[in-house]
């Protein structure tokens, strides 16, 4: 999935002692200082990919010009199609992303905080705008920014 998009710095880490070159460590505040905040669970899952901002740009561009699979446009339409009942706030869920309206514009977003990071990735497909916030302080909430 990453290779066709030329995402050369994105991978799943399933080895707990693996040294991850060029990766920032993650910290959380404790008392008046900081401590390392990491996991000892290593498996392939929705919270397992490691990436960087450059590769996220490549991932993001696939939503505007799909390249994955033989029928990339059809695959993308399936991926973007909500498959849940609306939440109390009207949000829908579509394959690990939320779908909702913001100022009458459809937004697709993913936020997470597992594996040492606080992240927010939001796409406004109709306007061609995306936003990515990657933070290595799990005490922060990117949605507030």
Give the pLDDT of residue 17.
59
In the predicted model, is pLDDT for residue 110 greater than 80? yes
In the predicted model, is pLDDT for residue 9 greater than 80? yes
Short-list 69, 48, 50, CA closest to 5: 69
In the predicted model, is pLDDT for residue 79 greater than 80? yes
Confidence bin at 62 (pLDDT 50/70/90)? very high
Give the pLDDT of residue 45.
58
- What CA–CA distances, in Å, run from 6 to 13, 59, 86, 131? 18, 9, 35, 20
Higher pLDDT, 137 or 110: 110
Structural domains of the chain, with CATH: 3-144 (3.40.710.10)
Side by side, the strands of the sheet bearing 129-135 are 92-93, 98-102, 105-112, 118-124, 129-135
């Amino acid at each position: 999935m990453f290779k066709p998009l030329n995402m050369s710095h994105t991978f799943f880490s399933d080895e707990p002692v693996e040294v991850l070159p060029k990766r920032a460590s993650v910290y959380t505040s404790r008392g008046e200082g900081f401590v390392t905040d990491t996991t000892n669970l290593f498996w392939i899952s929705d919270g397992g990919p490691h990436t960087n901002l450059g590769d996220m740009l490549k991932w993001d561009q696939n939503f505007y010009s799909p390249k994955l699979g033989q029928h990339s446009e059809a695959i993308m339409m399936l991926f973007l199609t909500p498959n849940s009942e609306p939440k109390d706030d009207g949000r829908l869920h579509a394959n690990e992303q939320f779908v909702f309206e913001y100022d009458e514009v459809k937004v697709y977003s993913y936020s997470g905080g597992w594996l040492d990071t606080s992240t927010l990735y939001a796409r406004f497909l109709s306007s061609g705008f995306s936003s990515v916030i990657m933070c290595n302080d799990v005490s922060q909430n990117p949605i507030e920014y």
